[in-house]
């Protein structure tokens, strides 16, 4: 696939293609080699990417990241993030717990340095799990120097005051409930005009249940260079009267302490009075909505209909992701399929069963194969979130795979354990199917005792992880009624 040189998204696309190449894939190969304690193959550039300007080879340029914000974009891709965190956890186990020599693990002094350089970059980008390794082996000075230059080129994101160096500083504001392509058009127009852009996100309890922090994170994730300001307890009054205008003006400059703004951007009529108050140029962007004929009100009424106006990061977070757990043969597949049809949306089938039917040897899978199941299940789930209609019904998750690994092998790879413990932040509702469902006693099943054991292990694990869940019991119709009653009372938007 051709790409324009330096394209951020094109580079991330190439990284994913490289990780998925081959059978086993390059990512699977990296996992196996690191778990065995010795890197032997050539995958360092796209498994542990560095800053592109630090390398000299063609691969380091092809797969290298541009700067800190590019590393943050890398981490916003759900598949790349989970894979990277799995690799870091595996590195930590081998280097810190098992005391594997770093040169033995990475195969050479050069690749050891590349690993440290990559972890230095991603620690700054927000991967806290890299810190332990770096505390022992040190950080890459060249990477720190490059990131230091990048930091000096950007204003501190915690500074609310204006600048006094003649730079253009822009401001826009809104509720962003939800954040859509019309809002993106305003921000991207502003970024082309100014040296630094601030965005105020107001509370919006009058129009949405989506928390301020979620709406703030949308913008931070899509535009890492933008300074996003949380407008706690901001005015929610509407209208164009003088007193209302003054309330909003005072909030921006007195409560939030924002000053030094040179350009105010909006696609609303309030731009005139706010820019005048700030002493800024009034930059009106697509006031008539010719470029993007959409409003947040229209989207709130039917997100699925207007999803083309939403960034995937935003749309995924609007979907109510419902996961069903429990022992084998407890009705998870039946209820996910039924609810998918009832609610006219997608469902995520259990990938582990599909994989087991293709690759099991003597009815068993290896620990590496179980980790592969969890990662592929997560990847498919992320893809389905982008096509779901209000709900996604998911049959099992990484916790189930982890428990199977413990049951059959007495152990679970660190990467799988990490996925099992961290995956619940993505689910809005968790249901456990009781083992009172008619048991399908077929040759591919391990018996009712196995079902009861895994049910008990699931409940115990959720309790230990402090994950709220609801038990489903009875017939399929009774379970569906329990789920629908819960969903009606927990509307997400």
* Strand order across the 263-266 sheet: 227-231, 196-202, 169-174, 263-266, 281-284
pLDDT digit string, tens, across residues 352-379: 988 888 887 777 889 989 999 999 999 8
Do 196 and 152 form a contact (C-beta atoms < 8 A)?
A: no
Q: Cα–Cα distance between 493 and 487 in angstroms, integer?
A: 12
- Look at residue 145 in the predicted model and tell me its pLDDT: 86
pLDDT for the residue 301: 93
- For domain 8-153, give the fold: 1.25.40
Say what the pLDDT of residue 441 is: 63
User: Topology of 319-488 in CATH?
Assistant: Rossmann fold (3.40.50)
Write down the pLDDT at residue 420. 92
- CA dist 455 and 476 (Å) reads 18
> What residues pair up with 228 in beta bridges, in sequence order?
199
Residue 154: what pLDDT? 39
| Same fold across 8-153 and 319-488 | no
CA distances from 45 to 20, 125, 345 (A): 14, 18, 39
Which parts of the chain sit beneath pLDDT 50? 1-6, 149-162, 164
Residue 105 pLDDT: 94
- As a residue count, the chain comes to 493
For the chain, the domains span: 8-153, 169-296, 319-488
Q: How far apart are the first and last CA of the chain?
A: 38
CB 227 within 8 A of CB 198: yes
169-296 has which CATH code? 3.40.50.620
Q: What is the 3-state secondary structure (H, E, C) of the chain?
A: CCCCCCCHHHHHHHHHHHHCCCCCCHHHHHHHHHHHCCCCCCCHHHHCCCEHHHCCCHHHHHHCECCHHHHHHHHHCHHHHHHHHHHHHHHHHHHHHCCCCHHHHHCCHHHHHHHHHHHHHHHHHCCHHHHHHHHHHCCCHHHHHHHHHHHHHCCCCCCCCCCCCCCCEEEEEECCCCCCHHHHHHHHHHHHHCCEEEEEEECCCCCCCCCHHHHHHHHHHHCCCCEEEEECCCCCCCCCCHHHHHHHHHHHHHHCCCCCCCEEEECCCCHHHHHHHHCCEEEECCCCCCCCCCCHHHHHHCCCCCHHHCCHHHHHHHCEEEEEECCCCCCHHHHHHHHHHHHCCCEECCHHHHHHHHHCECCECCHHHHHHHHHHHHHHHHHHHCCCECEEEEECCHHHHHHHHHHHHCCCCHHHHHHHHHHHHHCCEEEEECCCCCCCCCCCCCCHHHHHHHHHHHHHHHHHCCCCCEEECCCHHHHHHHHHHHHHCCCCC
Structure tokens at 277: 């108050």
pLDDT of residue 193: 93
């Amino acid at each position: 696939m051709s790409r324009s040189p330096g394209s951020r998204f094109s580079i991330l696309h190439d990284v994913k293609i490289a990780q998925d190449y081959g059978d086993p894939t390059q990512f699977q190969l990296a996992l196996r080699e690191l778990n065995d304690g010795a890197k032997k193959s050539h995958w360092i550039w796209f498994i542990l990417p560095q800053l592109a300007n630090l390398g000299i080879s063609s691969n380091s340029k092809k797969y290298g990241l541009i700067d800190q914000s590019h590393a943050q974009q890398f981490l916003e891709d759900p598949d790349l993030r989970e894979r990277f965190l799995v690799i870091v956890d595996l590195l930590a186990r081998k280097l810190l717990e098992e005391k594997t020599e770093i040169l033995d693990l990475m195969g050479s002094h050069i690749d050891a340095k590349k690993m440290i350089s990559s972890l230095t970059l991603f620690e700054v980008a927000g991967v806290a799990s890299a810190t332990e390794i770096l505390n022992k082996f040190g950080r890459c000075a060249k990477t720190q120097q490059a990131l230091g230059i990048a930091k000096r080129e950007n204003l501190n994101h915690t500074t609310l005051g204006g600048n006094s160096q003649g730079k253009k500083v822009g401001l826009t504001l809104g509720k962003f409930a939800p954040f859509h392509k019309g809002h993106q058009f305003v921000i991207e127009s502003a970024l082309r005009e100014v040296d630094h852009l601030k965005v105020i996100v107001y509370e919006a309890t009058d129009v949405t249940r989506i928390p301020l922090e979620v709406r703030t994170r949308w913008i931070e994730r899509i535009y890492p260079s933008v300074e996003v300001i949380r407008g706690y307890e901001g005015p929610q009054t509407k209208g164009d009267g003088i007193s209302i205008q003054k309330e909003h003006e005072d909030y921006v400059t007195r409560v939030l302490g924002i000053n030094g703004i040179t350009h105010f951007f909006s696609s609303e009529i309030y731009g005139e009075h706010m820019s005048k108050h700030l002493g800024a140029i009034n930059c009106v962007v697509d006031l008539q909505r010719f470029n993007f004929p959409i409003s947040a009100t229209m989207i709130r009424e039917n997100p699925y209909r207007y999803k083309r106006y939403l960034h995937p990061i935003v749309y995924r977070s609007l979907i109510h992701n419902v996961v069903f757990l429990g022992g084998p043969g407890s009705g998870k597949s039946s209820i996910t399929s039924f609810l998918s049809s009832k609610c006219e949306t997608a469902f995520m089938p259990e990938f582990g069963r599909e994989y087991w039917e293709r690759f099991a040897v003597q009815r068993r899978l290896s620990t590496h194969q179980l980790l592969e199941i969890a990662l592929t299940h997560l990847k498919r789930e992320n893809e389905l979130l982008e096509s779901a209609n209000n709900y996604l019904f998911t049959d099992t998750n990484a916790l189930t795979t982890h428990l199977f690994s413990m049951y059959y092998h007495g152990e679970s790879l660190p990467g799988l354990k990490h996925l099992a413990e961290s995956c619940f932040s993505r689910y809005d509702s968790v249901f456990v199917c009781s083992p009172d469902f008619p048991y399908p006693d077929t040759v591919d099943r391990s018996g009712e005792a196995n079902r009861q054991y895994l049910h008990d292990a699931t409940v115990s694990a959720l309790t230990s992880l402090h994950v709220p869940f609801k038990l489903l019991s009875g017939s399929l119709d009774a379970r569906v009624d329990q789920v629908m009653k819960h969903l009606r009372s927990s509307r997400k938007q």
